[in-house]
Amino acid sequence: MRAVVRIALLSLFLAAYAAAQSLSPESPATIGPGKPLLFDRVIANQKKNEAALDVYERLERLEIRKSASEPAPTTVKIARVIPSGTGMDHIPVGPDGQPTDAAAYRVALEQLEKALALAAEDGDSQHDAMAKFAKRKKERSDMIEATRNAFLFTFATREPRGDRMLSKYVMEPNPAFKPTSRFTAVYTKVHGFVWIDEASGELARIEGDVTEDISVGLFLGKIYKGSHFMQERYEIFPGLWMASFSQYDFDGRKLFSSFSIHERTFYSNYRYIGPPKEALSAIRAELGRSELSKPGPDPADH
């Protein structure tokens, strides 16, 4: 069920994320871009930021709570998150980002090494995995495209954040929007806000609430009305904006069993590691591999 719920959460994030790509303060409410130049700039920036996720590693601190009001998390998971060519590897580490179990950490790096070696080959053995990865990326793109007409926006105010000024907009479902899939149907049940850094043409913050129960998992489950999500984004490197914090507070059910997801994730230590071939070299160097001792893919994995 958790995987299904995360797909729904992704849809909600994409709704707000793509909504921010068609805003203009001079237009009180709009469906399409009011400023073509700003629109083009934000689109280009978002594509660049999304693509960067495939070549940047990061540190994630996941805090899990039993309820949104619980002051302290019941569980904390910290992981080094590294692109594997067909997804992301989460390798557990300590609060300082260093391994707590050197042997287990090395095993995880060796498994990542094998995955990167296969991805770097781009051969028949990786065809299915690469195809699934490409499909997921296309689905994300399609959902973003669908949100262009899914919302109406009203300029609310400008708010300072540090030395920057953000433009805040109310995001409401467009009653004329016709969903084309169960994922885009989510957009009709989301209300929220987006904050744009217009000086850079970047999305800085998104926040939203579920206004009606949302069916997920082929209608075998629901995310309940009142569920909440948000994400903060900052300029991590010049011209590159990444998530620094996200929060999910979702309640729902699957069949006759209820579930509750209350997670806060902090993202830090972004570092360029490159596409599979570059990442493979970096991981092999970290493992202390010499050119002559680099292992090939494990035949058992084929």
Residue 20 belongs to what domain range?
A: 2-296
User: How crowded is residue 190: how many other Cβ atoms within 10 Å of its Cβ?
Assistant: 25
Domain assignment present for 63: yes
Report yes or no on 289 lying in a domain. Answer: yes
- The pLDDT value recorded for residue 101 is 96
Task: Tell me whether residue 171 is in a domain.
Answer: yes
Distance between CA atoms of 50 and 72, rounded to whole angstroms? 31
Give domain status of residue 155, yes or no: yes
In a domain, 32, yes or no: yes
How far apart, in whole angstroms, are the C-alpha atoms of residue 82 and residue 108? 11
Q: Is residue 302 part of a domain?
A: no
Other beta carbons less than 10 A from residue 280's beta carbon? 25
pLDDT of residue 182: 73
Q: Is the residue at 232 inside a domain?
A: yes
Residue 301 lies in a domain: no
pLDDT by residue for the chain (302 residues), tens only, comes to 444 445 545 555 544 444 444 444 444 444 344 454 665 676 678 778 888 999 999 999 999 999 988 999 999 999 999 999 888 999 999 999 999 999 999 999 999 999 999 998 866 667 777 788 788 777 777 776 666 677 777 889 999 999 999 989 888 998 998 888 777 788 899 899 989 898 898 889 989 999 999 887 655 788 899 999 999 999 999 999 999 999 999 898 887 788 888 999 999 999 999 999 999 999 999 999 754 345 544 434 43
CA 29, CA 16: separation in Å to the nearest integer?
A: 16
Residue 74: count of CB within 10 angstroms of its CB: 11
Q: Assess contact for 173 and 151: CB atoms under 8 A.
A: yes
- Count: domains in the chain: 1
